Amino acid sequence: MNTELKVGALAPSFKSTAVGGKYGDGTPVSLADLAGQTVVLYFYPKDDTPGCTTQACGLRDAWTQFEGKAAVFGVSVDPAKSHRRFIDKFELPFPLLTDEDHKIVDAYGVWVEKSMYGKKYMGIERTTFLVGADGKIAKIFSKVKPEGHAEQVLAALSE
């Protein structure tokens, strides 16, 4: 990771375009706009790929348990149009943040060198940050497995 964020540290601020949920086809949002709320930022590699779909649909299926507990945002470097297709295809009830310029993934230290079949490339390490109402990182889930992710986050929200 470029930036080693720790529990208790102030979450890096960001401004982005949120697509989906109450944000429609694209509304600017910043971490400051969410002050006073618990925020779940889940970083995932790419819209509409098998692992990312499993993860997103798990959150979708548990959505009623998240309501009122936290504002949930998926974050990837995909553009708004891609997010819209992903949301529509799988009926995702929560917004996705665009990060085409990599500012958020860099600030949170999740844009890392990865390797597949011996080939090295840069990409998002599947990581989730739970940001408390005070704006500080309450929990970090590293190298998240798509299956069971929603349950892990819900358990942390209940602690």
Strands (E), 7-126: 15-19, 27-30, 39-43, 71-76, 96-98, 111-116, 119-124
Residues 6+ positions from 15 with CB-CB distance below 8 Å = 28, 29, 30
List, as own/partner pairs, every contact residues 120-124 make where C-beta atoms lie below 8 angstroms and the sequence separation is at least 24, other chains included: 123/45, 124/43, 124/44, 124/45, 124/46, 124/76, 124/77
Give the Cβ contact number of residue 19 at 10 Å.
Answer: 26
Give me the phi and psi of 111, to 5 degrees please: -90, 105
Instruction: Please report the pLDDT score of residue 159 as a whole number.
Output: 81
Under the banding of pLDDT at 50, 70 and 90, the label for residue 1 is very low
Over residues 4-21, the mean pLDDT reads 95
55 contacts 144 by C-beta, under 8 angstroms: yes
Instruction: Please report the pLDDT score of residue 67 as a whole number.
Output: 87
Under the banding of pLDDT at 50, 70 and 90, the label for residue 3 is low
Instruction: Please report the pLDDT score of residue 4 as a whole number.
Output: 83
- Give CA 150 to chain center in angstroms: 12
Looking at the predicted structure, is the pLDDT value of residue 2 above 50? Answer: no
Q: The dihedral of CA 57, 58, 59, 61: what is its sign?
A: positive
Per the annotation, the verdict on 52 as an active-site residue is: yes
Instruction: Please report the pLDDT score of residue 5 as a whole number.
Output: 92
For the chain, percent of residues with pLDDT exceeding 70: 98
pTM exceeds 0.85 for this model: yes
Per-residue pLDDT reduced to its tens digit, 37-80:
999 999 999 999 988 999 999 999 999 999 889 999 999 999 99
- Active-site residue, selected from the candidate residues 52, 96, 144, 150: 52
